[in-house]
A and B are shown apart, each in its own frame.
Chain A
Amino acid sequence: MKTPSDENHDLIRWLDGEMTADERRAFEATLQNDPELAAEAESMRQLSESLKTHLPAEMPVPHADFFNSQIQVRIAQMELDDAREREKAAESTAGWLSWLRMPWLVGAAAAAFAIAGLVWTQNSSSGTSTIASTYTPNPSVHAQVFHSADAQATVLMLDGLEPVPAEKKIVGFRVHRAESDAEVATTTLFDENGSVLAVVALNAKGQPQVLK
């Protein structure tokens, strides 16, 4: 005996045309003997037709590039986390190798680690900054990313920005440190003498306001 969920499953498969010829014949025979199921099938068929008529087969994802890049970044982070977990697990299982505690091996291992550490430090100090993704809310602004080997810098060029009015006076800060208050979502900026330069606070829309 079929349960209601089995019938619904069959109904969906029938609507989607996923049944074999034998299954379809058997199901349509069931429909003829079950007016309630037949009414439901007709209702779902009409709804399906209506959806197919009014909705496009594919819908563009808004800001698809940014969405995809965000997913790629998350995947990269998860892979990195997994690699760290594997390293930790490998370290913990290495504890039984008591023969490593032999004095001459400890010395050799220390030397090897020191060399490896030196190589790693040199490599890390020469790491190149990268941009994984960019998103500009204003469609007239375009972000261009490239690496300048001459300048040894990564460049994020924002084209299409509205110029700052020439008469506007741009006042700079020399911020030595900042303190954040998570409860009231503010960040207080201090100069090297400990005097308050400004306070960054978020308004109701989540936009920052630099207050003095």
Chain B
Amino acid sequence: MKLRTIIFALAAAAVSALPASAATLRFAFQGEFKSLDPYSLNESFTLGMLGNVYEGLTKRDKDLKIIPGLAERWEQVEPTRWRFYLRKGVKFHNGEDFTADDVVFSAERSFNQASDIKSRIQPAGTKAVKVDDHTVDFILPSPNPILHYEWDTWYIMSKKWAETNNSAAVQPATGTQMSYAALHTNGTGPFIITEHQAGVKTVFKKNPNWWGKPEHNIDEAIFTTISNDATRVAALLSGDVDFIDPVPLQDVQRINASGVAQVLQGPELRTIFLGFDQMRPELKYSNVKGKNPFKDVRVRKAFYLAIDEKAIADKVMRGAAVPSALMISPLLFDLAKDFKRPEPDPAQAKKLLAEAGYPNGFEVEMDCPNDRYVNDEAICQAVTAMLARAGIKINLNAQPKSKYFAKVLQSGGYDTSFFLLGWTPGSFDSWNVLANMYRCRDEKGVGGNMNLGGYCNQKVEVLTEKILVEPDKAKRDQMIKEAYTIGQEQDVAFVPLHQQALAWGISKKVKLAQRADNQILLYWFHKD
């Protein structure tokens, strides 16, 4: 009897271990996939993952061009009134119909206190108004020709579903209590999340009732986090997973030579940079008391000059990074060529620090993620050593991204003195960079929400407002250039480091489209 049970169990196990007949894709990323609430964290990876499940009014194609999403078409009735005609017959995963009410609800929800995507609908004070069940008007206080540029990652949620499940409020990124919407999804997209163990494993299943025409053949996709670089590569080469992101740069050659997988590299639009707290009267984590050294432009400039970005790009990034003089990729701004990084000059850096009153340097804590960007912790360590030569002692606090973001972002009260961060402008346009990172903000984060250091200059402020409404490209580019000249060259609001290269590890069985914003979009995956 007992023996039979065992045989039975073994047989059952053997059957379940057989590969499913339909295409199952297994993929792994270095960091965790935590909250499923699409408004919790304005971060490319999380937004990309949720982009398989949720959809915005607009979408972006493989070349990042804006295409219709949940809105079939749209028009500017007048400069301050945009009309969106919603797609008919679209259903949420739970069977509810998608209507104008959901759009109005989602717009309001994006302004929620805990929302990390408050800047999606700009300028402040814009209202969504239902015209009929499938038409929504957006009424703007002042014109904004790029209103819809970032709407591909402003995902529409179901009003009824969110309200019945007590999820009308956004799950804060810092929160330990996960709300219903942080653990479940109900989108309109091509995939349904059927299982989510926050930070461990997430299962996506094909949505058979999706309104669009699927270009993929994935029936099931299983996501896991593999934070260890060597393990992630080993998993790809052994066939345990079909896709990894990112490939550790030291293993690119080995994967390409393996015959079972290859590395797909491409330019990425994300800029990796260092930022300073320039807002608090006294730094939270430093031995300088009573004043904030980063308020002094000479100190910021000294940090900039102390860093040898070429060495970082060559050695830490193994050449897979382009040093940047701006906070935006040159691919996204035509006049970027007019800006040059200063040559590293530790002696000059020391001199500037001495002039600013710190001849012996000072001590400051640096916040750094260790599973977000390519070699992020190694970059921070290199920066630590370079600054040590200028007399600055950095106490490095490298943490997983979930803890790191919860500390440094608005939801954590901008709890940082000096940090490393990466930014891809969601609209692929400079206005996003200026509005999110150079615009002044208050303590609560109203204004430049991603301006973690609280840089503030009225000239840049005024220019940012003008750029938003300027229709002429040449004029607009000149204004952008002027804003960068003030904010970056003169004020050194940040220390831009580089644009990292995308490096995806892909099994030979898989074909896909790689988009320069590094979002993993399963609906372009094809597995043999």
A pairs with B: no
